């Protein structure tokens, strides 16, 4: 049981978004976008936050290859090409020509976008060509981010992560204790059988306990893990 929770916890330890830059501006984004391919949660940080462009979700090309799904990634800065490939499929993004094509030469209208020097690729096109499935969950910004997954144990298992970017060790430990205490005080309100990971955000460090509790329970409610009645 511990190994399963550890694997789940490690999968979301990378969810350490602080302020989320918009395209063409420095304002914080209004949401965090979790994205999974073939049930593997993609790396998530300020630099790798997915974004919508038009009606397409864009992901950092390097993140697609970091999930252990057999996808390889080559970014040739000299030739200005980004290549994602598996044993059977390949998709090539030519940044100079602004084109996209697969191994058969078929072209696609959606091209690669460079953001802060990092290439981002359209999720739906990559998934289609490489034979992957993908999904995303949009969670409102606040004092923390909560990620939950149903387990088969019939009990709740809680993981808490606080980035080093949020402060020194004693500050991070205090934040973890406060978040854990919120769960302890409200445990009877949570439906059983969930693996829960809570990621502290910058505002959580100095937030009043009541306000932090409010955001914790709000996130849990949105995730559908609170009981309908107490």
**Domains of the chain with bracketed CATH:** 24-136 (3.30.457.10), 142-223 (3.30.230.10)
Q: How far apart (Å, rounded) are the C-alpha atoms in residues 77 and 70?
A: 23
Q: What is the pLDDT of residue 143?
A: 86
pLDDT over threshold 60, residue 16: no
Q: What are all long-range contacts of 62-68, with beta carbons under 8 Å and residues at least 24 apart?
A: 62/118, 62/119, 64/37, 64/121, 64/126, 66/42, 67/37, 67/38, 67/40, 67/41, 67/42, 68/40
Strand partners, 53: 56
Contacting residues for 202 by C-beta, under 8 A, at least 6 apart = 18, 19, 166
Region 93-101: mean pLDDT is: 97
Q: How confident is the model at residue 15 (pLDDT cuts 50, 70, 90)?
A: very low
DSSP 43: P
Helix (H, G, I), strand (E, B) or coil at 227: coil
Using the predicted structure, report yes or no on whether residue 196 has a pLDDT greater than 60. Answer: yes
* 39 band by pLDDT with thresholds 50, 70 and 90: low
Q: 25-29, 63-67, 130-134 — which is least confidently predicted?
A: 25-29
pLDDT of amino acid 67: 60
The highest-confidence range among 21-35, 130-144, 146-160, by mean pLDDT, is 146-160
- Say how far apart CA 165 and CA 19 lie, in whole Å: 11
The pLDDT of residue 177:
95
For range 190-201, the mean pLDDT: 88
Residues 6+ apart with CB under 8 A from 170: none
Q: CA-CA distance, 93 to 73, in Å (whole number)?
A: 11
pLDDT value at position 136?
A: 58
User: Which residue in the block uniquely carries the two structure tokens 């059988």?
Assistant: 193
Name every residue whose Cβ is closer than 8 Å to that of residue 105 and which is 6 or more positions away in sequence: none
pLDDT for residue 86 is more than 90: yes
Question: In terms of DSSP bridges, do strands 157-161 and 194-200 run parallel, antiparallel, or are they unpaired?
Answer: parallel
Report the largest interatomic distance among the alpha carbons of the chain, rounded to a whole angstrom. Answer: 61
* Higher per-residue pLDDT: 163 or 103: 103
pLDDT digits (tens, 9 = 90+) for 151-176: 888 899 998 988 888 899 999 999 99
Confidence of residue 64 (pLDDT cuts 50, 70, 90): confident
DSSP tally for the chain: helices H, then strands E = 5, 15
> Looking at residues 127-145, what average pLDDT do you find?
73
Is residue 132 scored above 50 in pLDDT?
yes
Better-scored residue on pLDDT, 60 or 152: 60
Taking residues 194-221, what's their average pLDDT?
A: 90
Q: Taking all residues of the chain, what is their mean pLDDT, rounded to a whole number?
A: 79
Taking residues 205-220, what's their average pLDDT? Answer: 92
């Amino acid at each position: 049981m511990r190994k399963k929770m550890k694997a789940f916890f490690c999968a979301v330890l990378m969810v350490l978004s602080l302020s989320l830059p918009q395209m063409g501006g420095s304002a914080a984004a209004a949401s965090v976008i979790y994205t999974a391919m073939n049930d593997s949660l993609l790396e998530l940080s300020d630099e790798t936050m997915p974004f919508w462009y038009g009606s397409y979700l864009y992901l950092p090309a390097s993140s697609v290859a970091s999930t252990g799904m057999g996808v390889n990634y080559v970014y040739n800065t000299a030739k200005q090409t980004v290549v994602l490939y598996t044993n059977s499929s390949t998709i090539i993004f030519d940044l100079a020509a602004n084109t996209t094509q697969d191994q058969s030469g078929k072209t696609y209208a959606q091209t690669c976008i460079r953001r802060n020097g990092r290439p981002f690729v359209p999720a739906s096109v990559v998934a289609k060509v490489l034979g992957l499935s993908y999904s995303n969950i949009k969670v409102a910004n606040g004092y923390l981010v909560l990620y939950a997954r149903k387990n088969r144990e019939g009990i709740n298992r809680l993981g808490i992560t606080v980035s080093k970017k949020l402060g020194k060790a004693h500050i991070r430990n205090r934040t973890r204790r406060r978040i854990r205490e919120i769960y302890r005080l409200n445990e009877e309100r949570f439906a059983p059988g969930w693996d829960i990971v809570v990621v502290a955000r910058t505002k959580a460090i100095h937030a009043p306990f009541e306000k932090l509790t409010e955001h914790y329970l709000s996130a849990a409610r949105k995730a559908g893990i609170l009981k309908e009645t107490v």
